[in-house]
Amino acid sequence: QTMTTHYPDLTLQPDPQFPQPQLMSALMAKLHRALVQRGSGDIGISFPHYVQTCKPTLGATLRLHGTDAALRELMAQDWLRGMRELVEPAQNGAPLPVPPGARALCVQRRQFDTSIDRLRRRRMLRKGETPEQAEAALPQPTAQRQALPHVHLRSTSTGQSYCLHIDQTPVPVACDSGQFNTYGLSHGRTVPLV
């Protein structure tokens, strides 16, 4: 298994028409499609400005992790089409080397009881609401409320909207075995904290 030795940052620029969480959802959807097409499981992600307390947010920067070759190959593809004016890749997307001694970070998906998600999807279909409107109308029961940042995505196979909750935690030991899924997340493999 190859190590995640490099990283480029993709930072969303402010847009008066769309809130930053909506833009991050769109960016994640495009990355997901690119990683499905790539099919390698060798690119991970993290969020340098991730906040889990008070107002959970992923921030405006998506960091990709992988080998220099894998990242250059991904960035050479046209997966950012339609968002190029909204995304500013640091160093024009050229991957930077991970500094020696970087700590490890586990970035994984967390899934919760989906019955409330089903009710929200039905409401969105019936009332033509956005995911945010349905979430406000049908909040998570207090006992199940999870203060985790998330993105709203739409399944390409079913067309249904869903929340991808992301748990990002520093861990004491790096793990380079295993693969990243098509969201760039992994339950076992870590990425460097840079």
Residue 89, CB-side half-sphere exposure with 13 Å CA sphere: 18
Task: Please name the residue that has the structure tokens 């847009």.
Answer: 15
| DSSP class per residue in 73-126 | HHHHSSTTTTTTTTEEEGGGGPPEEPPTT-EEEEEEEE----HHHHHHHHHHHH
Task: Please name the residue that has the structure tokens 């190590």.
Answer: 3
Q: Is 32 a catalytic residue?
A: yes
Q: Among 6, 32, 150, 152, which one carries the catalytic annotation?
A: 32
Q: Which SS3 state, helix, strand or coil, does residue 2 take?
A: coil
Angle between helical axes of 20-38 and 68-76 (0-180°, round to 10): 110
Burial class of residue 138 (count of CB atoms within 10 Å of its CB; 0-12, 13-18, 19+): middle
Residues pairing with 168 in the sheet:
107
Residues marked as catalytic: 32
